[in-house]
Structure 1
């Protein structure tokens, strides 16, 4: 019989054993092809406004996803190879060389890759339409996406998975060469030694976790974090890292020891599931610690991306409050712009013309504006009456009352708005030849004028605006340079990119260098597309990562099941029925799956609750969104738990 014939026979006879491995590869092909198909889908490329950024984002996301797929499949293959060590030992005993066995494994991998590529590309082509429509929905586009099997996507997917087949063959060859023949026949018969647990270290684990929870629950606005931020970060890191490791290394072993010393230990099935777990503590410590910390990081990343997408719509409105705003270009150009807007699909809803005074800051601008590098150099002074009128026109509760030298800076985006008492108002000096001293009464988180934009390039910088009293404005008008701005509110500003480009062209003809222009559409299209793509890619990445993490526990428990099959066979001969065995397996796996899930959820929720949602109280729906994400994370673990319990029982029941 030829080697390739033996390979085909193995695949046919052991197809059930190959199922887990094959499913892993098919999922990997589906995910990678879906991403690649989106990158080359002509319908999607025609819809997005920033094709280059979109393709680069998808390309980066697909690379990251493929790295996770490689790790996931290689881990599955290592489990698969351990399950077949006895088989390889028999081949060596019958006279096959290591080189022949390696080629046989390579042929098997090629056959499985061929099946995976065929099924994965077919399913990925259909799913790419579904996910493409989902992505367009996130980007607020209503156009449909057709089925697509781009040749570029097929080519890259086939090439990458052929490369993965070579990597798998190398991994398999190394695994075969590192194990001796006698060890192959005794594979799975060596048990881990239980560790000696210390009550002191078990208590230390609880104290460290409690300390981390206490520090995190104080919140970033607490006196503890404001005055001792560095110490708090160190305490949190030590508590989370050290506490988690000791929890799985010492506390779990100690609690199992306590259970084993109970009077009723030998009643029911307690002895069945605890005795096995005591031998797994050493091997589980590193895995469960990593899974817990990585799981918390994945939840945080997912929640951050989802929250970013949710607030992006309101953030664009707050950053760019006007549909179109520009520096007055003269009566003739202004009339042409008005006619162009009225003739478009975005007629004028409201219009305002503002007068401001352009001046230069003498005082360091950080006194009035947080992160002054994001603001334009000139400072624009505005009369309180005009400001209050505009605020009332918008329906915002942001009015001011100023007297004499009092002023309010519009530092939109500041982390913490400030109001200064009369005796502690900082001075802010503006002007060149004739200087004006202002007393800052408030630093307000409000945008009167949006970020300056250039069509196709998103945001540039924010205008630095200070509201002053009417009397101070009249004095500044005599010495400063008057600037007229035109503000338009238009219908459906989200999709006015073409109109924005035309208005920008008309307003810019003959304009001075550094003239002001701002358009809601220019920011909206790029920001929403970017946040939608980030959400889409992060959701895929998080889902794959969660599956990979849960699979680490899943495959390890299947390995334990294979090693303990003989012990369960003995127990069955001694009269232990299937009901008690099944119950013992479920309790044993709860002890493995539940702690990483609970700790990851607790850590991530504390960070999200006190360091993310605390500063976003204007969005009451965010806690519900976060709870949905936590629920999905828990459902993935529940799926793996139930699957592990079912397969574990089948493995130990085979004998």
Structure 2
């Protein structure tokens, strides 16, 4: 019999090795490539703002997916080479040359790895398309959310394939170099015994996890608010404290065995505990990776939930369902025309208010950051909107008392104060056409979300007599009209809201065609200093512009339109977040399952010896069950706990408060954790049954 035929027989006998490696490669290529195809789709790239935090976060998720799937495949590859060593040992014992065996190994890898890579890449396109269709059916179905293929996704998949191939090649080369017949013969007898783990290691690990989360999430925000100093990028290394704590917790779960207060439990589980200690290093590393994958699952799902709530809850507490504002000199829609349009669409109004506001030059104090990440106060000069106390009382229904020289800041309902600008920021208000200024006194805040939207940093309320003094010298160019009204069943009035938006854009002129953050005073100062103004120029006011609501300074507000328009961009993020969670959950489930089966296969002879020594089926089942429970329970619990602490600190220290919708998000995250536990329990049951069959029970 030739060496080639012997190799073929060995490969057929050990076909499970190739199947496991193939599944890891195929799944990794499928998940990463399909995610990349969706991420680089023109529909998603156009929806994500260039340079925005959402786009940056999606890039972070893409990298996390690639790294997670790479670790998953490397784990499968290490198991493949571990099993392959037995085949190598047989061939070396028969007199085969290591050089010839290495050529044959790489030839087999090239063929099998290449097939699975191409299969995963080919399956990615239909899978991404089907996921997209399912998402459109369940979440949002608009013209802008049509599936469009992006060739960049294919290149991203090919790049991942190259990285995957190089890693497997590296493992193969390392395997060949270490291949030694005596090493292979003793591989099955080798253990990874570790020193006795101190009883305080788990407590220290938990302390390090909590400390690491606090250092990474809370300290940077506290230093900014207390000392006006941002932490350097190197501070991100504090996450290593959390990682060290995770390692200690997992290590204590794997290698700690003490009688403690319940010696009967210790003796009952002594075989299970020591079996895990015999493979402590590999088991600990494996469980830590699973914990990190669970962290990614919960975190990405949390981000998706957060963005969803930010849209569905956004604007819901505004006092008026609709609010419009536009330059007073522009021939826009008035009360009669709006009522006629509402009647045409069968919309019933329940209230209607109009008022004027003044655009006055102000000097106010805000904050900025220098290159050393130091925050400092700086005085800005720009335009802001002012309304009279009587008009504000009329639209808000609450009495506002102000004396001459006093002002109140208009805040959104229940919104915490921004770090960048305090509510008492005003230093001076300038009279039109002169250098004369009024230095007002801050008298607190009033709430009206609709007015808070129309001016940056805030809209302000003046005493009636001061308002009249400022209005005397202002032309129509310095005034704005405001229309606010409520309707019945606002969330059923989308057609009316869309028609109202189209009518306003049709009547808009160059006077109102500006970007959201455009300010005429800032532009004037920039041109006087010879600088370019970032927000100069006109925007696309056509109804087909998907970002009209976000870009137009005078875009009409309506609760139904806000949610419908914003949902298109948020839906993209939700889609990708959910998909990242699915990818990570698949990888975590597969790694846990494979590790469970590996333990059963490695200890098959031990289970046989236990039965020969008189152990019944129930005891052997218990030995397997205790090991598998630790493999599944500890990583899932650690990953959920770390992600829960991360989310809580993130939501609180973002603005030093917890809003109602943030509490809802945290509750939704707990439900997500319960779903993850349910899925992993299902994987555990499947692994337990398979391990039982391998053990012969």
TM range (shorter): 0.7 to 0.9
**Alignment match, 1:395:** none
Q: Confirm or deny that 1:440 pairs with 2:442.
A: yes
The separation in 2 between residues aligned to 1:49 and 1:499, in whole angstroms, is 25
Aligned equivalents of 1:316, 1:650: Cα separation in 2? 57
- Post-superposition Cα deviations, 1:422-469, rounded to whole Å, max 9, x if no partner, equal xx98874312433223222224564334657xxxxxxxx746310123
Contact 1:337–1:503 (Cα < 8 Å) also in 2 = no
**Structure 1, 47-56 or 405-414: larger mean CA deviation:** 47-56
Please provide the CA RMSD for this pair: 5.3
Aligned to 2:504: 503
Q: Secondary structure at the match of 1:90?
A: helix
Q: Residues 319 and 450 of structure 1 are in contact (CA less than 8 Å); yes or no, is this contact kept in structure 2?
A: no
The Cα of 1:366 is off from its aligned counterpart by 6.7
What is the DSSP-based 3-state SS (H/G/I as helix, E as strand, rest coil) of the residue aligned with 2:258?
A: helix
Per-residue deviation, residues 599-624 of structure 1 (Å, max 9, x unmatched): 33233334434652762215664344
- Equivalent in 678, 681, 686 of residue 635 of structure 1: 678
Partner of 2:103: 99
How far apart, CA to CA, are the structure 2 residues paired with 1:153 and 1:188? Answer: 46
Q: Distance in 2 between matches of 1:495 and 1:109?
A: 57
Is it true that 1:531 corresponds to 2:536 in the alignment?
Answer: no
Aligned residues of 1:305 and 1:538 also touching (Cα < 8 A): yes
The answer to whether residue 249 in structure 2 is matched with residue 247 in structure 1 is: yes
| 2:28 aligned with 1:28 | yes
Q: 1:483 aligns with which of 479, 492, 504?
A: 479
> Does 93-102 or 543-552 show the bigger shift?
543-552
Distance in 1, Cα, partners of 2:380 & 2:496: 27
Shift of 1:223: 11
1:586 offset after TM fit, Å?
A: 0.7
Give CA deviations for 1:377-431 in whole Å, capped at 9, x if unaligned.
Answer: 2122111222233335xxxxx764444444221244996349xxxxx98874312
Alpha-carbon deviation of 1:532? 1.7
Aligned positions of 1:382-531 closer than 5 A:
382-392=387-397, 400-412=400-412, 416-417=416-417, 428-432=427-431, 433-444=435-446, 446-449=448-451, 451=453, 462=456, 464-480=458-474, 482-487=478-483, 492-493=493-494, 500=501, 503-504=504-505, 506-509=507-510, 514=519, 516-520=553-557, 527-531=566-570
Name structure 2 gaps, 5 residues minimum. Answer: 369-374, 521-552
Q: What CA distance in whole angstroms lies between the structure 1 residues aligned with 2:30 and 2:379?
A: 43
List aligned pairs for 1:52-91, cutoff 5 A. Answer: 65-91=65-91
Shift of 1:132: 2.7
Q: Residue 372 and residue 451 in structure 1: after superposition, are their counterparts in 2 closer, same or farther (change >3 A)?
A: farther
Aligned to 2:626: 587
Distance 1:343 1:13, change over 3 A: farther
Secondary structure, aligned partner of 1:637: helix
Contact 1:248 1:284 in 2 (8 A): no
* 2-structure distance, mates of 1:161, 1:150: 18
Once the two structures are TM-superposed, the CA of residue 585 in structure 1 deviates from its matched residue by: 0.9
* Matched residue SS, 1:429: strand
Q: Which residue of 1 aligns with 2:192?
A: 192
2:355 equivalent in structure 1: 354
User: Offset of 1:584 from its aligned partner?
Assistant: 0.9
Tell me if structure 2 keeps the 8 A contact 1:320–1:519: no
How far residue 503 of structure 1 moved from its aligned partner, in angstroms, is 3.0
Deviation string for 1:467-495 (max 9, x for gaps)?
12323322332355551324366974589
- Show structure 1 runs of 5+ residues with no match: 393-397, 419-423, 453-460
Structure 1 contact 589–641 (Cα < 8 Å) conserved:
yes
Which whole-Å CA distance do the structure 1 matches of 2:662 and 2:55 have between them?
31
Structure 1 residues 343 and 629 mapped into 2: Cα distance closer, same or farther (>3 Å)? closer
CA contact (8 A) 2:412 2:448 kept: yes
Q: Deviations over 1:148-190 (max 9, x none)?
A: 9969599669856864674365245314322223123333321
| Contact 2:636-2:677 at 8 Å conserved across structures | yes
Q: CA deviation at 1:505?
A: 5.2
**Distance (Å, rounded) in 2 between the aligned partners of 1:347 and 1:196:** 77
Distance 1:82 1:599 in 2: 28
Structure 1 range deviating more: 493-502 or 552-561:
493-502
Question: Does the alignment pair 1:110 with 2:106?
Answer: no
Cα pair distance change 1:197/1:316, threshold 3 Å:
same
Q: Any conservation in 2 of the 1:37–1:153 contact (CA below 8 Å)?
A: yes
- Residue 563 of structure 1 is matched in structure 2 by 602
Q: Evaluate the alpha carbon distance shift between residue 34 and residue 511 of structure 1 in structure 2; reply closer, same or farther with a 3 A threshold.
A: closer
Residue 615 of structure 1: aligned partner: 658
Q: Say if 1:351 and 1:486, in contact at 8 Å, map to a contact too.
A: no
Which residue matches 1:132? 133
Distance (Å, rounded) in 2 between the aligned partners of 1:520 and 1:541: 33
Q: Decide whether aligned partners of structure 1 residues 265 and 109 sit closer, same or farther in structure 2, where only a CA change above 3 A counts.
A: same
Deviation sequence 1:72-119 (CA, Å, 0-9, x none): 22321222221221113323444343112210222232344466566x
Instruction: Report whether the alignment pairs 1:181 with 2:180.
Output: yes
Aligned to 1:458: none
Residues 323 and 519 in structure 1, CA contact (< 8 A), matched pair in contact too: yes
SS in structure 2 at match of 1:360: strand
What's the offset of the Cα at 1:35? 3.9
Deviations 1:172-227 (A, max 9, x none): 531432222312333332111231233455654466568789x79x999x999987
Which deviates more from structure 2 when the two are superposed, residues 100-109 or residues 280-289? 280-289
Give secondary structure in 2 for the equivalent of 1:517.
coil
Counterpart for residue 540 of structure 2: none
CA distance in 2, matches of 1:259, 1:485: 76
